[in-house]
Structure 1
Amino acid sequence: MLHPFDPGYVAEPFVTLCSEYPGTDVYPPGQFRTEWGPIFHRGRLDGSARVLVIGQDPAQHESVIRRIMVGEAGRRVQGMLRKLGVTRSYVFINTYLYSVYGSVKAHTRKDARLVDYRNRWLHALLTGSRIEVVLAFGRVADEAWRFWRETPAGGGIDLAYAALTHPTQPESASNGDKAKLADATTALLRNWNKALQAVAPRVQHPDAPTPLVLYGDTWTDEDRIGIPEFDFPAGLPAWMREQDGWARRVGPDDLAKRRNITIRIPKGVVA
């Protein structure tokens, strides 16, 4: 059985980008979990991507796997991409290289060193590329795109663009209240439907042409799909790709949780 995988950062300009990433002088440890290192992307870096996805910041699963949007948010976005007929030709980057700790101050978000490095990634992915659509999930992702558009290179590119509600915003906003969760989910899916209708005509080269089917008022099994094996580094265990909840920040206080990611193999994998 063959196991396709992502070969990683093997060509320029991505080799240089991965060797010149900013550290704690740009990403303050009081605002970011810099101790777990930067996490750069997920998807195609060979110029074949048709859709660029901008997310926000990595969580604990991403810290282990070293690819972004591999948890519940990633599965929901993967389902949206399939509605556009895009099953392989995509690339993801985040607004921030490091997981946010608490909140990010305005002056940090606008730090020229942080913004310029991110814009180098956008420049590498967009200039002369085949990208047709850009999707930004979350407020800071939309801000990242607007900062890029203000550059000379960004201002000269004509692409379909949509700013969308973050995939897991309903869970974070409802705080365990089921009624609030249901309402927030419906609002998110309406936001996503509006975006789908706007950008779908601009996807001229889908991997699997398919009629556009909009979301209902809540998630269905078909809306959340697995992330393909070819998006992950070689040799990653199947259970890390197929399930959520195996990585948790554990400890009696915030500092202990910051220092620890506990990995637990799901039931049924071993006897």
Structure 2
Amino acid sequence: MSRKAAKEEPKVHPFDPGYTAEPFLTLCANYPEETVYPPDQFRVEWGPIFHRGRLDGSARVLVIGQDPAQHETVIRRILVGEAGRRVQGLLARLGITKSYVCINTYLYSVFGTVKAATSRNPALVDYRNRWLKALLVGQNIEVVIALGQAASTAWTMWKASPDGQASQVPFVAVTHPTQPESSSNNDKVKLAAATKKMLQNWNAALQQVHQNVIHPDVVTPLVPYGDTWGADDRLRIPDDDFPAGLPLWMRENDGWARRTGADALAKRRNITITVSSGVVS
């Protein structure tokens, strides 16, 4: 008589349960639309994208990004592409592997240039400040990191509010994670120089705030970046940050979503998704 095969235990797939408690339920139900985010400056047709990370009060570091790109549009979480992997590496140098939360300056993907009047629209600023209040006032955030100029400006606007003036949480602004690529125009020499300059900027920021992370997930001595990306500088985004049921290849790879079309309008209307090589035989 043949021996029955041992029953295989089902795999566990951690996920982000979403917006299950106040004030985030209301924030996600009542958000600014086209009167605040004009369609000539934002891809409002793809909808708003709110956050990534912990909303349960356990976050120790708040990251403020800029705006969602095509991968974020599909996954419905921010900073899930190349910039997100670089941010994971930055957080790890502070000993933070899970106790973080990320929001963006803008809910919608930027199309072209954001006009100054739009960026200062009280409805846009006030809504973003409601998120910052929910994450900062009476919470456990020990450090705030802004990625790029737009995020730094968002923080300045928050600090001008009564709640912002009362907040004393340490803050640092760093160069945006993909600025080297956007500034080098496919020139390898320029890319190398811009990457080195950015990592020097990140090292200075880490020196400034490392001591302020009092409750890291892992006690980590500060190790500076080199002149270019090392093997452990771009880290996988944890499954707990993604919505339930997201396929593994979307979580582990990048480059599977591209804006495609013959002109700017066509690219605005289309995101082409390609299953990663090797997934389908």
TM-score tier by shorter-chain length is over 0.9
Q: What code does the residue aligned with 1:244 have?
A: D
Q: 1:173 aligns with which of 176, 183, 187?
A: 183
Q: CA deviation at 1:222?
A: 0.6
Number of the residue aligned with 1:120: 130
Deviation at residue 227 of structure 1 after TM alignment: 0.1
Q: Does 1:161 align with 2:171?
A: yes
Q: Percent identity?
A: 68
Aligned to 1:11: 21
TM-superposition CA deviations, 1:113-158 (whole Å, max 9, x none): 0000000000000000000000000100000000000011111111
2:238 maps to a residue whose letter is: P
Pairing partner for 1:185 from 180, 184, 195:
195
C-alpha deviation, 1:230, in angstroms:
0.4
Quote how far apart the aligned CAs of 1:159 are.
1.1
Gaps of 5+ in 2: 1-10
Deviation at 1:110, TM superposition (A): 0.3
Structure 1 residue 73 and structure 2 residue 83: aligned?
Answer: yes
Quote the residue 2:280 is aligned against.
Answer: 270
Distance 2:224 2:169 in 1: 22
Correspondence 1:143 to 2:167? no
Superposition pairs for residues 86-235 of structure 1, below 5 Å? 86-235=96-245
Shift of 1:50: 0.2
TM alignment of 1:13-92, pairs within 5 A: 13-92=23-102
Cα deviation code 1:174-197 (max 9, x no counterpart): 001111101100100000000000
Alpha-carbon distance, 1:39 to partner? 0.1
SS, match of residue 232 in structure 2? helix
Secondary structure in 1 matching 2:154? helix
CA distance in 2, matches of 1:12, 1:159: 23
Q: What is the CA distance between 1:170 and its match in structure 2?
A: 0.3
Calculate the aligned-residue CA RMSD, in Å: 0.4
SS at match of 2:71: helix
* Displacement after TM superposition at 1:210 (Å): 1.1
Give the AA of the match of 1:152.
P
Query: Per-residue deviation at 1:221?
Result: 1.5
Output the CA distance in 2 between the equivalents of 1:221 and 1:227. Answer: 15
Using the alignment, how far apart are the partners of 1:107 and 1:183 within structure 2? 34
Bigger Rg over Cα: 2
Q: Which amino acid aligns with 1:125?
A: L
Paired with 2:204 and 2:39, the residues of 1 have a C-alpha distance of: 37
1:160 Cα deviation after fit? 1.2
TM-score (structure 2 length as normaliser): 0.96
Cα-to-partner distance string for 1:193-232 (whole Å, 9 max, x where unaligned): 0000000000000001111110000011110010000000
How many pairs were matched up? Answer: 271
